[in-house]
Homo-oligomer: A and B are copies of this chain.
Amino acid sequence: MLRCVIIGYGFLGKRLAKLLAAGAVEGVKLVGVASSKGYIYEESGLTLVDLPDELQSSRALKPSPAIELIDRGLTDLLVELTPTNIRDGEPGLSHIKLALEHGIDVVTANKGPIALAYDELMELAEETGSMLLHEATVGGGIPLISLKNRCLAADELLSIKGILNGTTNYILSRMHFEEMTLELALREAQMLGIAERDPTLDLEGIDTALKLVILANSLMNAGKKLSDVKIKGITGITSEAIAAAKESGMTIKLIGTADENGLRVAPKLVRLNDPICVHGTLNAVSFNFKILRRLTIIGEGAGESTISALLNDIYEVVKARARSSRT
C-alpha cells in the first residue's frame, strides 16, 4: 500500500483527497494533506470524515510546514498541487526536489517547477530511482505526455501545435460567434470564473508558453526555457480582425508551436474546418509524427478534468511499484 500525501488543498487538492480517501485508486492510502496553514496526518489512512472543507477548521491540524511529511519518512508518493509560480517555482519546486531526493515518487499539476527545472528534476529522479509524472500540468486531463510516451513511442514526433489556454480560447470564441469586443468577452469570462481577476498570464500568452515549454521538453527533449519562447498575446486582437477572418471561413486562435524553428506563441488565422479549431474553453493539440503524420486530441484543458490526469498518473506509479516489487 503506497502512502500518499497531497500538498496543496485548493480546488484540485480537495477533490483528489476525497477520491483517494474513498479508494479511487487501489493500492494507495491517503495519509496526509497539507496547505500553507499546516497539515493533517494519519498513519492508518485519512477517511472522508477526516477531510475538512478548509484545513484550518480541522482539529487535527498541525501548524507545521508541509515538508515535515516528506522529510520524516511518512510518505511514498507526493502529489504536489500548490499554485503555479512562474518566477521561481516555489514552494512546489522545493517540495518536489526534496521528495525526489528521498526517493519518493511525485505526481504534480504544478506548471512552475516543471517548466522552470524539467531537466534538473528528471536527472534527480533518475539518480534516486524515483518517478516524476506531470500529465496534469498541460491540457488538464487530456493525455499529452503519456500519449506520446506510452502509445507512440516507436514513431518520431516532429512538431507540436496547439490551443493550450481555455481562457483565451473562450474569449476568442465569444468574439467570433457573438461579435463581442475583447473587453466585453473578458468581463463575461471573469464573471463566469473562466478568467482570473488579473488575466495577464492568460491574455499575454505566458500560460500557453509555459505549457509549450513543458510539452517540448518532455516530448521532444528540447531543453528549452520560458525565455526561449517568442510570445505574443491576444490583447491586440480586434473584433474587426476576427470578422474579416470569419468572412473567409477562418477565425483567430492563440496558437503555441514547437518545431525545428523553435518555440513560439501567437494569434494565428485558423480555418474553421481545421481539427484544431475548437471553441469555448476547449483545448486542442495537433502532433505531427514522422509516420502517423497529424494526430489531434481535444478536451477540456482545466478544472475537473485535471483530476483524471492526476488519478491516471497515480495509477501508473502504483503499477510501476507493484511491478518492481515483484522483481
- Measuring CB to CB, which residues of chain A are less than 8 angstroms from any residue of chain B? 24-25, 135, 141-143, 146-147, 150-155, 272-273, 275, 278-279, 282, 284, 289, 291-300, 304-305, 307-309, 311-312, 314-316, 319, 323, 326-327
Residues of B within 8 Å of A153, CB to CB, are 312, 315-316, 319
> What residue of chain B has the Cβ atom nearest to residue A19's Cβ?
B291
Question: A319–B315 Cα gap in the complex (Å)?
Answer: 20
Question: A141–B141 Cα gap in the complex (Å)?
Answer: 22
A-B contact pairs, 16 of them (CB 8 A): A141-B289, A141-B292, A142-B292, A150-B151, A151-B151, A152-B308, A153-B315, A154-B314, A155-B311, A275-B278, A275-B282, A275-B298, A292-B299, A293-B299, A293-B305, A297-B297
Contacts beyond the supplied A135-B151, A153-B316: 6 A-B pairs with Cβ under 8 Å: A141-B289, A143-B295, A153-B319, A273-B279, A292-B299, A293-B305
> How many chain copies does the complex carry?
2
Most chain-B Cβ atoms within 10 A of its Cβ — which of A154, A282, A305? Answer: A154
Contact of A289 with B275 at beta-carbon distance under 8 Å, contacts A143-B152, A146-B151 already known: no
Shortest distance between the CB of A149 and any CB in chain B (Å): 9
Shortest distance between the CB of A21 and any CB in chain B (Å): 15
From B152, B299, B311, A294 is in contact (CB under 8 Å) with B299
The answer on a CB contact under 8 Å between B275 and A291 is no
> What residue of chain B has the Cβ atom nearest to residue A26's Cβ?
B154
Shortest distance between the CB of A282 and any CB in chain B (Å): 7
> What residue of chain B has the Cβ atom nearest to residue A143's Cβ?
B151
Question: A304–B295 Cα gap in the complex (Å)?
Answer: 13
